[in-house]
Amino acid sequence: MAMSMEKRDEMIMRLVHYFITEENYSPIVVNGVRDEIWLQNQDGPYKIIRINGNYIHNKEQYDYDILKLNSVMRQVRRKTLSWSMNALNILLDVNEDVSLEARKNIASVALKNGLIKSKSIVDYFPDINHKMLLNEKGLDLMIDVTNDINRKTARDNRVYESIFRPKKIVMTHLLIAINVLVFFVVFILSRADLNVLNLLRYGGIYAPLVKNGEIWRLITGGFLHGGIFHLLFNMYSLYVIGTQIENFAGKWKFLAIYFGSMLSASLMSCAIHTNTVSVGASGAIFGLLGALVYFGYHYRLYLGSVLRNQIIPLILLNLLLGFMMSGIDNAAHLGGLIGGLLISMALGVQKREDFKNRLNGIITFSLYILFLVYIVFFR
C-alpha cells in the first residue's frame, strides 16, 4: 500500500533537514521530476542524494527509476565537471516484493517504519536516525525545518559572500607597475634597442648562464619584455586574471602563486630550450590560469560553466597558438600552468581547505620543482 501524502511529505522534510543542516548538502534544481528532492555535496560520502517519494510497486518500475536517476546524474556530472559520481537513492515508498538490487555507483535504500536500517548507510551517517526530528509533526515540523535551513543558508551565504565579493586589489596593480617600470628603464638603458643581446644583458633567461650560477635570471626574466605590444598584451592579461586570483585567494597567496609559477615557468624553459633567450610575464600568468582552474574546480557549482566554457578553452587556445607560432616560449607557458595548479593545491582554497590535499600539494609541487632543478643543473 502506498504511503499517505502527509506522511510522505513529513519524511521528505525530515530527511532534507538532516542532510542540509547536519551533512552540509545543498539542493539541486532538477527539471522534469515530481515528488523528488535532489541534494549534492562534492565532499560527502555520496556526492548525490536523491529522496524519492513516488511509490515503487514492481521491479520494472524500479529499473525505470534507476534509468531516470542515471540520466540526471550524467547531467549533474557534466555541470560539476566530475569524472565519477556516486549516489544514495532513498526510496520512501516501496512495495515489499521489490528487491533493491545494487547498481553501479548507486546505493538504493528503502525507509522502514520511518528509519534507515541499512548498515552501510548508517555507517556513513551514524546519527541519521536520531537527528531527523522524528518527534515533531505537522506545522511544528515545517516551522523548525524552515527555520533551521534558513539559518544554514544564511551562514553559507555569508561565507560565499566573503570569498566572492569585490576586494581592494593591491598586488596585481603593484606587479603591473613594476613590469612597466622595468620595461621603460631597460628601454632607456638599451637606447630603444630591445634586441636579444640587450635583453640577455639586463636579465633574460638563458639556460647556460643559469646553469653557470646566475639563478637570479629565473626571476628577472619574468619582468622583461621584448617590445611594447608584448608588454601591453601581458599586462592586460595580468590585470584580468590577476585581479580575480587576488580577490579569491588574498594578496599573499596570490604573490606565492605568481612567483612560484614564474619559477616553474623559467625552470621549464631552461629544461627544454638550452640555447634560447626567454623573457616575459606570460609564464607566471599561465600559472594564475592554473590557479583559476583549481579554484574554479572547488567552486564548480558556482563557476562550473565559466570554467568549462571560458577558462579551459582560453588555456587550450593559447597553448595551441604557442605551438603554431614562432617566438613563443610554450615550455614556459606549460611550466607556469603546472606550477600554478600545484602551488594552489599546496596553499589550499579558502573555506575548502583540506590538510590531506594541501600536504599532497606541498609534496607534489616540491618534487616537481626538484625534478626541474635536476634537469636544468645536473643532467
Q: Between residues 95 and 283, which one has the greater pLDDT?
A: 283
Beta strand pairing call for 205-206 and 277-278: antiparallel
At residue 351 the predicted structure's pLDDT band, cuts being 50, 70 and 90, is low
Q: Between residues 100 and 171, which one has the greater pLDDT?
A: 171
Mean pLDDT within 221-235: 94
At 100 the pLDDT is 82
* Close Cβ partners of 253 (under 8 Å, ≥ 6 residues apart): 347
At 343 the pLDDT is 96
Report the CATH architecture of 168-377: Up-down Bundle (1.20)
The per-residue pLDDT of the chain, averaged, comes to 85
Domain boundaries, the chain: 5-163, 168-377
Q: Note the pLDDT tens digit of each residue in 290-346.
A: 998 888 887 776 665 667 777 778 788 878 877 777 778 899 999 999 999 999 999
Q: How far apart are CA 306 and CA 189, in angstroms?
A: 43
At 32 the pLDDT is 61
Question: Does 257 score more than 60 pLDDT?
Answer: yes
Q: Between residues 323 and 31, which one has the greater pLDDT?
A: 323
HEC secondary structure over the chain: CCCCHHHHHHHHHHHHHHHHHCCCCEEECCCCCCCEEEEECCCCCCCEEEEEEEEECCHHHHHHHHHHHHHHHHHHHHHCCCCCCCEEEEEEEECCCCCCCCECCEEEEEEECCEECCHHHHHHCCCHHHCCCCCCCHHHHHHHHHHHHHHHHHHHHHHHHHHHCCCCCCHHHHHHHHHHHHHHHHHHHCCCCCCHHHHHHCCCEEHHHHHCCCCCHHHHHHHCCCCHHHHHHHHHHHHHHHHHHHHHHCHHHHHHHHHHHHHHHHHHHHHHCCCCEECCCHHHHHHHHHHHHHHHHHCHHHHHHHHHHHHHHHHHHHHHHHHHCCCCCHHHHHHHHHHHHHHHHHHCCCCCCCHHHHHHHHHHHHHHHHHHHHHHHCC
Percentage of the chain beyond pLDDT 70 is: 88
Question: Does 174 score more than 50 pLDDT?
Answer: yes
The three cell numbers locating residue 227: 617590445
Q: Which of 57-61, 110-114, 129-133, 284-288 has the highest mean pLDDT?
A: 284-288
Q: Between residues 84 and 240, which one has the greater pLDDT?
A: 240
Mean pLDDT within 217-235: 95
Write down the catalytic residue from 17, 225, 298, 333.
333
The lowest-confidence range among 49-53, 273-277, 309-313 is 309-313
Mean pLDDT within 255-282: 95
At 1 the pLDDT is 46
Write down the catalytic residue from 266, 269, 278, 282.
282
Q: How far apart are CA 224 and CA 182, in angstroms?
A: 7
Mean pLDDT within 63-81: 82
At 284 the pLDDT is 96
At residue 9 the predicted structure's pLDDT band, cuts being 50, 70 and 90, is confident
Whether 333 is catalytic is yes
Nearest by Cα to 279 from 233, 225, 328: 225
At residue 135 the predicted structure's pLDDT band, cuts being 50, 70 and 90, is low
At residue 126 the predicted structure's pLDDT band, cuts being 50, 70 and 90, is confident
